[in-house]
Amino acid sequence: MIAVDNLTKHFGALRAVNGVSFAAHDGEVMGLLGPNGAGKTTILRMLATILRPTSGTAAVDGHDLRRAPEKVRAAIGVLPENWGLYGRLTAREHLRYFGRLYGMAEAPLERRITELIALLEMGEYANRRCDPFSKGMKQKVALGRALIHNPKTMLLDEPTAGLDVMSVRGVRDLIRRFRDEGRCVLFSTHILDEAERLCDRIAIIHRGQIVAAGAPEELRRQSGQATLEEAFVQLVGVEAEEIKS
């Protein structure tokens, strides 16, 4: 699970994240929902140990991200907003390279690569270089890279951004599968419909702070609104044009 305690990140005078606390559990999908610039990506980057918090802390599977960052990195699978694939490597080479970085032995690694290529339906292009791939194909390679060491905790930053309809459906099905497998899934989105369809619980974030958290029906009840969109607009106080339904 993930336990976040009063996590804060300042960039000079900018308070990108300001005293955020929440928990996400195994077998659960939790969403960070907010408009662009709300602080969602910064939270995920701190949890991935890419950014060091200004104050506060968090633990992933019991490992404190300040005191044991290497154990946190070993425990998580991360899908960043920008995938950072190496264009000259094939999909299979990406998985092999990252499996070796995680210290996996060769035989188990090759079995895992075969499993992921089948799971993500990459068989047709597994041995092709990634440079000319479509966004959906690159997304699958990045997901395979995040899953190569079979982590219990997944951090997904805007996992469906820019994808076509079929690719979006595929990613959402995978997120549900992760939950059914007992993984802890934390993902950021600014798409209301996606959050409502996928999330067991949602933390609504605005200007670096959590303004409300709970299951979608709880958020509607807290705000006295009939829909999540109306609840979001009331709780955050922004125009509906800033979010997507």
CB-side neighbour CA atoms (13 Å) of 35: 15
* pLDDT for residue 244: 52
* pLDDT for residue 238: 56
Comparing CA positions, the residue from 170, 94, 90, 168 lying closest to residue 130 is 90
* pLDDT for residue 245: 47
Provide the domain limits for residue 42: 2-84+152-242
Low-confidence ranges of the chain (pLDDT < 70): 238-245
Task: Answer whether residue 51 is part of any domain.
Answer: yes
* pLDDT for residue 190: 87
* Residue 70 exposed, middle or buried by CB count within 10 Å (0-12, 13-18, 19+): exposed
Comparing CA positions, the residue from 123, 153, 152, 155 lying closest to residue 140 is 123
pLDDT tens-digit map of 159-207:
998 888 988 999 999 999 999 999 999 999 988 889 999 999 999 999 9
Here the CATH number for the domain that contains residue 236 is 3.40.50.300
Task: Answer whether residue 164 is part of any domain.
Answer: yes
Task: Answer whether residue 119 is part of any domain.
Answer: no
Q: Is pTM, for the whole model, over 0.85?
A: yes
Task: Answer whether residue 181 is part of any domain.
Answer: yes
Task: Answer whether residue 103 is part of any domain.
Answer: no
Domain tally, the chain: 1
Task: Answer whether residue 40 is part of any domain.
Answer: yes
Task: Answer whether residue 203 is part of any domain.
Answer: yes
Task: Answer whether residue 98 is part of any domain.
Answer: no
* pLDDT for residue 153: 97
Q: Are 245 and 228 in contact (CB under 8 A)?
A: no
